[in-house]
A and B are shown apart, each in its own frame.
Chain A
Amino acid sequence: MSDVQSVTDVVAVVLLLLGAFLCLTAGLGLVRFPDVLTRMHAGTKPQVLGVLLIMIGAAFRLQGWSATWMLLLVAVFQMLTAPVSAHMISRVAYRRRHVRRDRLLVDELRTGEAADRLYRGDEPADAPPEEPATALLENRRDEGTLPSS
């Protein structure tokens, strides 16, 4: 009995250490990777696999079904919500030009060849343009799609 107990303990500890190691890799990737999408790629490693491993390890160590169900709830919730938040963040990142497009191999969202001509000044990355209506008008005029008015 005690032998089986120690084997489950060893498995649980190995799972916990693997999950902790994934958290370390997430931190490393967050610091070293170049743009938002690659940082999300690094940061979501512990969000799914790390949390799953740590929950399984903790469920091995904790006796009692209530803790197990609650850990299962956390794991299921993480797996449901991680895609949603990742989708929203990456969509906003693409539309707000936080993506290193020169590093992309395939860019399926880019339909036209409208260039990033406007606003190359020293604005912070999150600043809105000074005159949104003027910017839109200039861009349409450059593309020749200005309605005649």
Chain B
Amino acid sequence: MTVVSWLAYGLLGTGALLALVRLGLGPSLLDRVVATDTLLVIIAAGLAVHAGLQRDPTVVPVLVVVSLLAFVGSVSVARYIGGMLIASTGDGQDVGLPEAAEERTARSLEVDR
């Protein structure tokens, strides 16, 4: 059981660490929103793994709160960014907004290659 718990927490911790890397790197706000969402899901999964492995039902209500919080957070940030939209040009995209940073770097990389 010790091996199993180390393995499970190792997998979850590595996933959370990689999500944190994306949260720090993420070129745009939406990348960070997605990373935060995934991070909260991984935290909820870790709580559930703890509850399952230790047979400890006291953290189960926390799971409900964390999943609610993830939904409310990502939706409110998405609505906040959506409120900054100005007008559509007819191609379904917003006018006058810069090209995404990752698209620019990827295009320059492909040109260099």
A complexed with B = yes
State whether B28 touches A125 (Cβ < 8 A).
Answer: yes
State whether B96 touches A118 (Cβ < 8 A).
Answer: yes
State whether B52 touches A17 (Cβ < 8 A).
Answer: no
Q: Which of B22-62 contact A (CB under 8 A)?
A: 22, 25, 27-31, 33-35, 37-38, 41-42, 44-45, 48-49, 51-53, 55, 57, 60-61
A64–B57 Cα distance when bound, in Å, is: 9
Count, A-B residue pairs, CB within 8 A: 277
* Other-chain contact of A16, B18, B53, B100 (Cβ < 8 Å): B53
A101–B93 Cα distance when bound, in Å, is: 12
A99–B101 Cα distance when bound, in Å, is: 10
Q: Which of B42-86 contact A (CB under 8 A)?
A: 42, 44-45, 48-49, 51-53, 55, 57, 60-61, 63-64, 67-68, 70-71, 74-75, 78-79, 81-82, 84-86
* Other-chain contact of B90, A26, A70, A112 (Cβ < 8 Å): A112
State whether B86 touches A136 (Cβ < 8 A).
Answer: yes
The verdict on A114 contacting B90 (CB below 8 Å), with A17-B7, A58-B48 known, is yes
A54–B63 Cα distance when bound, in Å, is: 12
* Other-chain contact of A126, B29, B44, B96 (Cβ < 8 Å): B29
State whether the Cβ of A2 lies closer than 8 Å to any Cβ in chain B. Answer: no
A63–B55 Cα distance when bound, in Å, is: 8
A116–B98 Cα distance when bound, in Å, is: 8
Q: Report, nearest first, the 5 A-B pairs whose CB atoms are least far apart.
A: A27-B18, A135-B96, A27-B15, A58-B52, A129-B96
Q: Could you tell me which B residues sit within 8 Å of A by CB distance?
A: 4, 7-9, 11-12, 14-19, 21-22, 25, 27-31, 33-35, 37-38, 41-42, 44-45, 48-49, 51-53, 55, 57, 60-61, 63-64, 67-68, 70-71, 74-75, 78-79, 81-82, 84-103, 106-107
